[in-house]
Amino acid sequence: MTHLTLQAVTKRFNTAYAVDHVDLSVPDGKLVCFLGPSGCGKTTLLRMIAGLETPSSGSVTFAGRDITHLPANQRDFGMVFQSLALFPHMSVAENIAYPLRLRKTGKAAQGHRVAELLDLIQLPHMANRPVTQLSGGQRQRVAIARAIASSPKLLLLDEPLSALDAKLREAMQVEIRLLQQRLGITTIMVTHDQREAMTMADEIVVMEKGRIAQVGRPLDIYRDPVSEFVADFIGLGNILPVTHDGRGGVSLPGGQQIVVVNPSYVPESTGDIRLLIRPEDVCVKPASTTSDPNHLAGTVTFIRDVGATLEATIECAGFSLTAATTPRETPGLALGMPVLAELPAHACKLIAARLVH
């Protein structure tokens, strides 16, 4: 069942389009991430779903009802913002109980629900502590407990983890995801962090300049991006300029032939194509002379060895490649070393070049 539907939702600020004709269906019980660079319209889109911003045109439907012009306080959605906006003069329990008080829930039911939520966020012993005396991660959990206190049908999160340090942020990503799955609450989260989106989302909506560039499951988008913009935004990628060679293959600017999985690919919007190969698909071999397609001679110019994984930059004729490997797979790899990089044909894919607006 589709819970939330956006139809041609558009928001103009004066003459600029912050969100431009967005169509989207958010399935029931899923976690969907709006992902994209700063200024692409993620927050504006979320605010229109929340009712904090009115669309210039288009409609928002929730559970079969048109809510485009319904005030935010009548939507019954839970929200957590970047700032968290906890009430500093209240205790943990008072903060969580706040939406219940607004709804005039009885005292006993309030107490029961708050206790339940404190258990859920694993802070049962902190009910009476002022929120100002909590760590960043604890505050985060309280903000989420408050947002879900009145059992909203939709949870909206706008960069809720951006104030946390890297380690805590990763822990909270898992925590929120597990909580969301346990409660089965439909959730939309805004982030500009692709790793965060990959970790948490059932579906990612990649946005570019107010429009949806691609929607799909994280790994599907990673493996099958529709354009250079998406490929570049989701994960590391080697994106190289190539041209059709007229013989069913493609060639790099230096003339090296590359066999690809989709040789007859022609992009819809521009004639330019790019070759995409992910770093983990590049095989680094000892240098040797070969004229086989998909083998490129190069020199190792940078190595990032972090123990479990190793990332090498290989300078080839006129471009560089990144290869992700492990110290075990490529022992003895060293700076300045000549190598042969194999780009297996099954991992080489043609995609559309970034659109120039």
What's the min distance (Å) between Cβ of 222 and ligand ATP? 21
Nearer to ligand ATP by Cβ, of 13 and 87: the residue is: 13
Q: With respect to ligand ATP, which residue has the nearer C-beta, 36 or 51?
A: 36
Query: Would you call 295 helix, strand, or coil by DSSP?
Result: strand
The distance of closest approach from Cβ of residue 42 to ligand ATP in the complex, given in angstroms and rounded to an integer, is 4
Footprint of ligand ATP on residues 43-82 (CB under 6 A)? Answer: 43-44
Contact region with ligand ATP (CB under 6 A), list: 36-44, 60-68, 181-189, 333-341: 36-44
Q: What is the DSSP string of 40-53?
A: SSHHHHHHHHHTSS
**Those residues with Cβ within 8 angstroms of residue 281's Cβ, 6 or more apart along the chain or in another chain:** 343, 344, 347
Contact status: 194 vs ligand ATP (CB under 6 A):
no
Question: Measured from the CB atom, is 47 or 278 closer to ligand ATP?
Answer: 47
Which residue of 13, 85, 124, 346 would you call a contact of ligand ATP, by CB under 6 A?
A: 13
Q: How far apart are CB 40 and ligand ATP at their closest, in Å?
A: 4
Regarding 36 and contact with ligand ATP (CB under 6 A), the answer is yes
In whole angstroms, the minimum distance from the beta carbon of 146 to ligand ATP comes to 22
192 makes contact with ligand ATP (CB under 6 A): yes
User: Which CB sits closer to ligand ATP, 229 or 312?
Assistant: 229
3-state secondary structure 152-172: CCEEEEECCCCCCCHHHHHHH
The answer to whether the beta carbons of residues 135 and 58 sit under 8 Å apart is: no
Give me the helices (H) in the chain, please.
42-50, 92-102, 107-120, 136-148, 166-183, 194-200, 218-223, 228-233
Name which of 286, 288, 294, 195 is nearest 242 in CA terms: 294
Are 208 and 36 in contact by the 8 Å Cβ rule? The answer is yes
Instruction: In angstroms, give the least distance from the CB of 334 to ligand ATP.
Output: 40
Distance in Å, CB of 332 to ligand ATP, minimum? 43
Q: What is the DSSP letter of 192?
A: S
When the beta carbons of 129 and 209 are compared against ligand ATP, the nearer one is 209
Q: 210 in the Ramachandran plot: left (φ > 0), alpha (ψ -120 to 50) or beta?
A: left
Residues 6+ apart with CB under 8 A from 312: 284, 300, 302, 303, 304, 322, 323, 325, 330, 333
Shortest spacing between CB 197 and ligand ATP, in angstroms: 13
Which residue, 11 or 139, has its beta carbon nearer to ligand ATP?
A: 11
Residue 38 C-beta: closest distance to ligand ATP, Å: 3
- Our CB check for ligand ATP shows the closer of 53 and 228 to be 53
Selected range binding ligand ATP among 35-43, 164-172, 322-330, 337-345, rule: CB under 6 A: 35-43
In the bound state with ligand ATP, the residue whose beta carbon lies nearer, of 162 and 251, is 162
Q: Which of 24, 22, 27 is nearest to 58 (CA)?
A: 22
Distance CA 73, CA 51 (A): 8
User: Does 39 contact ligand ATP by CB under 6 A?
Assistant: yes
Interface residue with ligand ATP among 4, 6, 9, 18 (CB under 6 A) is: 18
Spell out the residues 6+ positions from residue 243 whose beta carbon is closer than 8 angstroms to its own.
250, 251, 273
Nearest CA to 169 out of 205, 45, 147, 177 is that of 177
188 lies in the site for ligand ATP, by CB under 6 A: no
**Binding footprint of ligand ATP on the chain (CB under 6 A):** 13, 18, 36, 38-44, 192
